[in-house]
Amino acid sequence: MAETVTKTIHYKRAVITGGGNLQEILTRVFADESPAHRVGHRKEIVNADTASFRVVNHKRDYSGMLFCQMIYFEPGRSQAYITLNDDADSYALDALTNEALNNIEGPVDRERHRREFVDSFLYFGVFENHIVVLQSSQLRARELEAHLGWLIGSFGGVEIGTAIILQDQPSQETYERIARAPVKKIQIGAPIVTAQDVPEGHRPATPRQPQEETEVNARRVRFFPTGFAGDVIKAAMGADWFNRLELEEDLDDANLKVSLEITYLRQTTRVGQVVIDNIATSLRHAEDADVRVELAGGGELKGGDLRLSGPISVTKLVNGLLDEGILYHKMHGWLVGKLRQGDADTAITADDL
């Protein structure tokens, strides 16, 4: 019997410097005559040491929208599993290796069709500049924004330096609450996490022909703060201090956190109130638990109130993967509903979908 699971999807609005329609740009990127039509050409290498990459894998047009499956992948990974024997002293742990995976149901052509474990999935649908996203643990809206910027910059035929920003859209109810009781204080907290440094020249800006295996010279691994907390540290301390930071280990267990508070003393001007209200409704990529907005006269908004999100139910296939046909149908219907309710900021109508 098929299992049904509940997932949370999020609305984003794509803002492209210089203007443009993201759906049309991505349609050009994936067109048959484009180099990015082949999946091996559109891989974005995110770590040259491990050859890990992210890529838009599946793509499909459905009811006027472009839906895509994005994956993050690191070669050579194994998958741990547990043997549940309640009569034993302890549960046995083991791992399924790549070698074992490639010999399931007989050997495969290891040069052309090698099997590997996928680390994480993200699904997104695009209508013009409206995006609906289903995130995962390692692929969030931040990673999608970065990858789309790289993808359209490499294959989209846009001007050099074109950037893309995925903006959050609070619900109409949140706007009305802020209109009734303006924002008094914004508190943002984020853990300090690190990523490995990828030196200049190890991450190509524009992909060429399908990549062949290349030798990477051994070197000392360097870590640097990343994410929202890293951005705050860099802005506060300066790029020179940030770039001189020599971390030979990650900060995963360091329990460090950056906290940022935006408020005013006693009272503010009309323009100041406009600024703080706009900051409250424009916090991109912050996790729900990391943002708290205090309203004048009492009341509070949490991070989840500052973005347009909602639950959908999706069927899992027998292999554990989501049924993408049902997923895209639910994502499409959810976006249509938000457009018809006026929650999504748009000049078009839901009848266009």
Say which amino acid occupies 122: L
Query: pLDDT, tens digit, for every residue of 183-201?
Result: 888 877 777 666 665 444 4
Query: pLDDT, tens digit, for every residue of 26-69?
Result: 999 999 999 999 988 999 998 877 788 889 988 999 999 999 99
CA distance 215 to 338: 50
Say which amino acid occupies 311: P
- The residue ranges of DSSP E strands in the chain, in sequence order, are 3-16, 44-47, 52-62, 65-73, 79-83, 92-96, 120-127, 130-134, 164-168, 183-191, 193-196, 223-226, 257-263, 291-295, 300-302, 309-316
**Global confidence as pTM:** 0.65
| Structural tokens at position 56 | 């838009």
CA distance 34 to 65: 20
Confidence of residue 79 (pLDDT cuts 50, 70, 90): low
pLDDT of residue 36: 93
| Structural tokens at position 310 | 């909602």
pLDDT higher than threshold 60 for residue 146: yes
* 8 A C-beta contact, residue 134 and residue 7: yes
| Structural tokens at position 189 | 């907290």
Q: What are the structural domain ranges in the chain?
A: 1-75+118-169+308-353, 78-115, 170-307
Choose between 224 and 16: higher pLDDT.
16
Query: pLDDT, tens digit, for every residue of 258-267?
Result: 877 888 877 8
Residue 29: alpha-carbon gap to chain centroid = 19
Q: Cα-flanking dihedrals φ and ψ of residue 127, to 5°?
A: -125, 110
CA distance 15 to 168: 11
Residue in the block written with tokens 């992948």: 73
CA distance 104 to 31: 34
| Structural tokens at position 199 | 């030196």
